[in-house]
Amino acid sequence: MKRIFLLFIVGILISSFFVYAAGVSTGGEVSSDRAEVRSADVRGERVVVNDCEDVSIRKDRIKCRLENRPERSSVPESCRTAENRGRCVALYNAIGKCYELQARNKDQCLKRAIGLRAKLSEDSSLERKDKTRDYVVALLYDLQERVEKANELGKLDSEESAVIIEKITEIKEAIGSGVSKMEVREMMKELKSLWKESIE
């Protein structure tokens, strides 16, 4: 009888480990319903098609996802090199549903998911700096979604789309790694330039 109880406890401990690992694992697939991100761009970053994942050059990997549109997804591209990948993926999960909304409702959803006030200048929380970084990443996701939509509609080919998404991913990584606003602004200039050349 004692053995049965001990086996039961050990079984619970082992199974609880897997439950925990599925929630915060940096390498696992995001399986929560909240991880359902409709953004085409986001889908582009979270695919799991082995053929695309095996591509070593990022731009080609993104292009592969754009062209194959796999249904299932794994770790977002910009989270791959993140210092805290679990937090990076959690941000993804928290904001995913917001992209179904439009205009001010979308902004409201994003800021609430991140924990920001409507006006950043009025937000006096100690974490405003970090939250604002998350918010800018969320806005970059929005741009990425627009690129994918343009690609889906045939307004932008996969090569051009991949170049822009790669730049967006680089900026998100830079923001996540804590670079200064001046550096981000420089990168944003490059993105705007690409945007004007390809989309406008």
Q: What are phi and psi of 82, to 5 degrees?
A: -65, 145
Q: Cβ of residue 11: shortest distance to another protein, in angstroms?
A: 11
Place of tokens 């330039």: 193
Stretch that binds another protein, among 51-59, 77-85, 120-128, 154-162 (CB under 8 A): 120-128
Residues 6+ apart with CB under 8 A from 78: 45, 88, 137, 169, 172, 173, 176
Number of residues in contact with another protein under rule CB under 8 A: 58
Q: Does 112 bind another protein (CB under 8 A)?
A: yes
The Cα-based distances of 114 to 11, 51, 122, 153 in angstroms read: 36, 34, 15, 31
Q: Which stretch binds another protein (CB under 8 A): 38-46, 59-67, 131-139, 158-166?
A: 131-139
Residue pair 151/157 in contact (Cβ under 8 Å)? The answer is yes
Residue 193 within binding range of another protein, rule CB under 8 A? no
Q: Which of 41, 45, 142, 166 lies at the binding interface for another protein (CB under 8 A)?
A: 142
Candidate residues 59, 139, 170, 198; the one interacting with another protein per rule CB under 8 A: 139
Q: Is 22 in the site for another protein (CB under 8 A)?
A: no
The SS3 assignment for 102 reads: coil
Specify burial of residue 7 (Cβ count, 10 A radius: 0-12, 13-18, 19+). exposed
What residues line the site for another protein (CB under 8 A)?
A: 1-2, 5, 8-9, 12-13, 16, 19-20, 23, 34, 87, 90-91, 94, 97, 102-108, 111-115, 117-121, 125, 127-129, 131-136, 139-140, 142-143, 146, 175, 180-181, 184-185, 188, 192, 195, 199
